[in-house]
Chains A and B, each alone.
Chain A
Amino acid sequence: MKLLSYFRGEAFQRGVHPPSCKLTASTRIRRLPFASKVTVPLSQHIGKTPRPIVQVGQEVVRGEPIARSDEWLSVPHHAPVTGVVEFIGLRPGVRGPWVESIVIRAHPGASQEDLWGRPRDLSDATGGDILQAIWDAGMVGLGGAAFPTHAKLTVPKQAHVHTLVVNGCECEPYLTCDHRVMVEQADDLITGIRYAMRATGAVRAIVGIEDNKPDAAVAIRAAIVRCGRIPEGEIYAELVPTKYPQGSEKMLVMALFGVEIPAGDLPVSLGMVVNNVGTLAALGKLLPAGRGLTERIVTVTGPGVAKPGDYIVPLGTPLRFVLDYAGAPGVATRQVILGGPMMGQAAASLDVPITKGMSGVLVMQGDALDWRGNQKTYPCIKCAECVESCPMGLNPAQLGMLAAKREYDLMGSDYHLGECFECGCCSYVCPSNIPLVQQFRIAKQILREKALSK
């Protein structure tokens, strides 16, 4: 009810309220055992693909860099396990096509401790030093987009950053990894926030948390007090009304500050940098220890999982191994979604590895899929539900009609298709069951190819 949103005074009024289904919101983070073989794809993030710097047959210890690149928009990879490099070449990728990967066979007798990292004191490091350390740690955004963190925290010369916005919304249904990180690793998070503030020159950090996770706000406020060295009012934990897709940085800035980031600009144009809580908590843990990113927290959940939970998973662990451990045997599995149900990607095979940007593994069961498949599709009845829910203020009904007629150029030029960030609200609400965002994805891809061929 958008009228109620207005009367409640919500700054971010559009969006949808999918059922939250956070099955694992109160289970502690657990550790997954090491698989006998891990596969590290070389391209796990936006930007240039790094080159392998190990050979087949070489022994690696956990945390040792195995691939790096001198390109700015690229991060190194570190060995997730101690073992022997078995193979470098094509392996099944998440999107379907096979991708260049490094396969490491774990040493069965190794303790799998990270012996590579050297603890260091960063208390008087400059912003540049911290950025370099973040780069060396191979950090990318752990919220899902996997954008290299050092690039995100680097402030352009002509810009000033005053506020670090820490994104703890986790608006996707089912996912709870950020929630558990805020509850259990609040101290690491505060440390990470302070590093990021030093790197960007921000004077304050605001952690935006959706109000279905009040315990996270309590934990962070307690950690701020515990930390002690923080001047009054430097880090806040702020609750915002729960709504999808608030985890998008533009929407979170809207909810917190009531301003729209101009189209085509980054939050830095308003003096803000937005980062995910999982990323900053990992920074707070890795930087003082001098280690690289070798594991991440993944929510393994869904109706088809016997032991759902948030697991610390070594990067490169095969999906099949994760599912077996969590009690979702491959034979009974019909669909596995990597990420949340609104924006996540359906895995093309169970042999793909866990990568840096994977926040969740969601196993869907038969009846939910059958229900979705049996929905009847009608023509657009112009109920305007999608127009009301589009967070970017587009007209998905009109765009959908144009997409059906393949008027892609018109969609891009007159109806702002480029602003769509594929949150899926339009498809979610559509009573006629029209695959709106799916069509927009195709249209955007075609427009991109057209622009490239020119």
Chain B
Amino acid sequence: MSIEISSAPHIKGTRSVEQIMRHVVWSLLPVCAFFIFQYGLSALLSLMVVTVSCLLTERFFVRQGGQSGDIGDFSAIITGLLLALSLPPGFPLWMGAVAGIVAIALGKALFGGIGFNVFNPALIGRAFVQAAFPQAIATYTPSFMPGRFAEYIPSSLTLPLMQPVSVVEWLKDRQFDALAGATPLAKWKFEGVMANADELLTSLSGHMAVGPSPVLILLCGAYLAFRRFLDWRIPAAILGSAGLTAWILYGFDPLRFPNPFFMLFSGGLILGAVYMATDMATSPVTPKGMWVYGALIGLLTVIIRYYSGLPEGVMYAILIANAAAPLIEKITQPTPFGKGVLSNLGRQKKGASYPLHSGYISREDAGAVTPKKRFMFNKPKHPPKE
């Protein structure tokens, strides 16, 4: 008869990597469903092809060995879904598959698997296709097209290694002009037309070519933040800093720059802020670092959108901030207990039951008074009955 020994702690919280990843996948499902509702069969096929290509690549590299994690940890599914959501719905499927392979192979497997990647894998994949297929990735189609569940957007079914056919003809057949396929950001950038708030938020009223619904993403993100599956500081910092920068520029010249609301809810900023930038492995772990990291992303996004030749800037902003994350983490290490300014009596945390003050003196000193108790902020859950 023998007994086991182990080192404390002997109990363990119920949270696991699979659980975190599973919840992120679940929270993405409503976003995906709405995306499919917006764009029909092509969006469904694109989501499936990209995710399956991510999973197959992951499986290949896990089988090769030398990888941490495995296919059961749901992280490749997240990469696939996010990548597909960030691509245009009519993106040629073979290009989507290439994006998925690149995302997992170069973005994740090369670094050693889950937890070791420096850059967000989905964005690596997207950056690759952005450089390789600039034409295809800029081609959007209007949302809520009639008959979207009956036929594919013609560019989707492009044969492998072929350039996609132009959708202009196809759009003309359906009484849409060529402009209808431009995203709100591209419209603003190249034609100076700004979309309305309701079009940006839901696009239910018109046929605006927007990405996945920002409102839905915010809702799903709020659920994740509430369950602590993502850190609320990063989206808050990104949206805050992007909004603030845009607001300052807007105040400076309202004719040249769009208003902050347009800046926040157009393009992929919300998706990037809630799902891409909060990727745990590529963001700083320190609370202060998260604020710096988020603020950097917001600032870079606005600068790239306003001054570069690209309409969209979130992807590069996040990738640059990913690269800066280790450095940010290094300079924002938390202050240990008792080593900060709080450790002297001058500054106290609020919420203490008996704040220390000069009335606290010892018996030897004359006129010792017992200080009055402050209002109890930290009310216990069950007040005792006397």
| A and B part of one assembly | yes
- For residue B365, CB closer than 8 A to chain A, the reply is yes
Which residue on chain A has the smallest CB distance to residue B377? A9
Least Cβ–Cβ distance between A375 and chain B, in angstroms = 7
In the complex, the answer to whether A379 meets B116 with C-beta atoms within 8 Å is: yes
- For residue B240, CB closer than 8 A to chain A, the reply is no
Chain A, residues 206-226, CB within 8 Å of chain B (1/0): the string is 100001101101100100000
Q: Which residues of A contact B337 (CB under 8 A)?
A: 250, 254, 260, 263, 391-393, 419
- For residue A52, CB closer than 8 A to chain B, the reply is no
B contacts with A: majority SS: loop
Query: Most chain-A CB neighbours within 10 Å: which of B15, B284, B285, B381?
Result: B285
Q: Which residues of B contact A362 (CB under 8 A)?
A: 10
A contacts with B: majority SS: loop
Which residue on chain A has the smallest CB distance to residue B382? A214
Known: A261-B343, A375-B16, A433-B16. 14 other contacts (CB 8 A): A212-B381, A260-B337, A262-B338, A335-B4, A342-B9, A345-B8, A372-B11, A378-B114, A385-B228, A387-B285, A387-B287, A393-B336, A394-B334, A430-B13
- For residue A3, CB closer than 8 A to chain B, the reply is yes
Least Cβ–Cβ distance between A327 and chain B, in angstroms = 17
Partner of B15, one of A96, A217, A431: A431
Alpha-carbon gap, A452 to B254, bound state (A): 68
Q: A258-B352, A345-B8 are in contact. Are A388 and B287 (CB under 8 A)?
A: yes
Alpha-carbon gap, A10 to B4, bound state (A): 39
Q: Which residues of A contact B283 (CB under 8 A)?
A: 382
The stretch of B186-194, B210-218, B356-364 that contacts the partner chain: B356-364
- For residue A256, CB closer than 8 A to chain B, the reply is yes
Q: A379-B114, A431-B15 are in contact. Are A341 and B9 (CB under 8 A)?
A: yes
- For residue A110, CB closer than 8 A to chain B, the reply is no
Partner of B16, one of A8, A203, A431: A431
Query: Most chain-A CB neighbours within 10 Å: which of B1, B11, B349?
Result: B11
In the complex, the answer to whether B351 meets A384 with C-beta atoms within 8 Å is: no
Which residues between 175 and 232 of chain A lie within 8 Å of chain B, taking CB atoms? Answer: 201-204, 206, 211-212, 214-215, 217-218, 221
Q: A218-B384, A238-B353, A435-B7 are in contact. Are A160 and B361 (CB under 8 A)?
A: yes
Query: Most chain-B CB neighbours within 10 Å: which of A211, A265, A368?
Result: A211
Which residues of A are in contact with B by a Cβ distance under 8 Å?
1, 3, 8-11, 16, 18, 96, 160-163, 173, 201-204, 206, 211-212, 214-215, 217-218, 221, 233-234, 236, 238-242, 250, 254-265, 270-271, 330-331, 333-337, 339, 341-350, 362, 364, 368-369, 372, 375-376, 378-385, 387-388, 391-395, 397-398, 415-416, 419, 422, 424, 427-433, 435, 437-438, 441
9 A-B contacts, Cβ less than 8 Å apart?
A: A16-B13, A206-B354, A259-B356, A341-B11, A368-B11, A378-B114, A384-B287, A419-B337, A427-B9
Q: Which residues of B contact A433 (CB under 8 A)?
A: 12, 16
Q: Which residues of A contact B8 (CB under 8 A)?
A: 337, 339, 341-346, 422, 424, 437
Q: A161-B362, A250-B337, A372-B12 are in contact. Are A431 and B6 (CB under 8 A)?
A: no
- For residue B370, CB closer than 8 A to chain A, the reply is yes
Which residue on chain B has the smallest CB distance to residue A385? B15
Which residue on chain A has the smallest CB distance to residue B339? A263
Q: Which residues of B contact A16 (CB under 8 A)?
A: 13
Least Cβ–Cβ distance between A121 and chain B, in angstroms = 22
Query: Most chain-B CB neighbours within 10 Å: which of A215, A259, A349, A429?
Result: A259
Query: Most chain-A CB neighbours within 10 Å: which of B6, B231, B368, B379?
Result: B6
- For residue B160, CB closer than 8 A to chain A, the reply is no
In the complex, the answer to whether A18 meets B114 with C-beta atoms within 8 Å is: no
Alpha-carbon gap, A9 to B365, bound state (A): 33
Least Cβ–Cβ distance between B173 and chain A, in angstroms = 49
Chain B, residues 158-192, CB within 8 Å of chain A (1/0): the string is 00000000000000000000000000000000000
Partner of B382, one of A211, A250, A258, A346: A211
Partner of A221, one of B16, B19, B351, B386: B386
- For residue B232, CB closer than 8 A to chain A, the reply is yes
Q: Which residues of B contact A259 (CB under 8 A)?
A: 342-343, 345, 348-349, 352, 356
Q: A211-B380, A265-B338 are in contact. Are A384 and B231 (CB under 8 A)?
A: yes
Chain B, residues 306-336, CB within 8 Å of chain A (1/0): the string is 0000000000000000000000010001111
Query: Most chain-B CB neighbours within 10 Å: which of A18, A202, A378, A387?
Result: A378
Partner of A334, one of B3, B349, B360: B3
Q: Which residues of A contact B66 (CB under 8 A)?
A: none
Alpha-carbon gap, A441 to B1, bound state (A): 29
Which residue on chain B has the smallest CB distance to residue A435? B7
In the complex, the answer to whether B11 meets A257 with C-beta atoms within 8 Å is: no
Q: A238-B354, A239-B384, A256-B353 are in contact. Are A364 and B5 (CB under 8 A)?
A: no
Q: Which residues of A contact B282 (CB under 8 A)?
A: 382
CB within 8 Å: A-B pair count: 281
In the complex, the answer to whether B4 meets A346 with C-beta atoms within 8 Å is: yes
- For residue B256, CB closer than 8 A to chain A, the reply is no
Alpha-carbon gap, A331 to B2, bound state (A): 8
Which residue on chain A has the smallest CB distance to residue B2? A334
Least Cβ–Cβ distance between B79 and chain A, in angstroms = 14
Partner of A239, one of B7, B114, B360, B380: B380
- For residue B69, CB closer than 8 A to chain A, the reply is yes
Alpha-carbon gap, A346 to B9, bound state (A): 10
Which residue on chain A has the smallest CB distance to residue B357? A257
In the complex, the answer to whether B5 meets A348 with C-beta atoms within 8 Å is: yes
Alpha-carbon gap, A145 to B284, bound state (A): 36
Least Cβ–Cβ distance between A332 and chain B, in angstroms = 9
Q: Which residues of A contact B360 (CB under 8 A)?
A: 162-163, 271
Alpha-carbon gap, A419 to B290, bound state (A): 24
Least Cβ–Cβ distance between B114 and chain A, in angstroms = 6
Query: Most chain-A CB neighbours within 10 Å: which of B12, B16, B350, B364?
Result: B12
Q: Which residues of A contact B286 (CB under 8 A)?
A: 384, 387, 395
Least Cβ–Cβ distance between A418 and chain B, in angstroms = 9
Least Cβ–Cβ distance between A221 and chain B, in angstroms = 6
Least Cβ–Cβ distance between A334 and chain B, in angstroms = 6
Query: Most chain-A CB neighbours within 10 Å: which of B8, B287, B333, B336?
Result: B8
In the complex, the answer to whether A381 meets B10 with C-beta atoms within 8 Å is: no
Least Cβ–Cβ distance between A250 and chain B, in angstroms = 7
In the complex, the answer to whether B382 meets A382 with C-beta atoms within 8 Å is: no
Q: Which residues of A contact B351 (CB under 8 A)?
A: 8-11, 258
Q: A256-B353, A350-B3, A385-B15 are in contact. Are A432 and B115 (CB under 8 A)?
A: yes
Q: Which residues of A contact B362 (CB under 8 A)?
A: 160-162, 201-203, 271
Q: Which residues of A contact B4 (CB under 8 A)?
A: 334-335, 346, 369
Which residue on chain B has the smallest CB distance to residue A442? B7
Which residue on chain B has the smallest CB distance to residue A364? B10
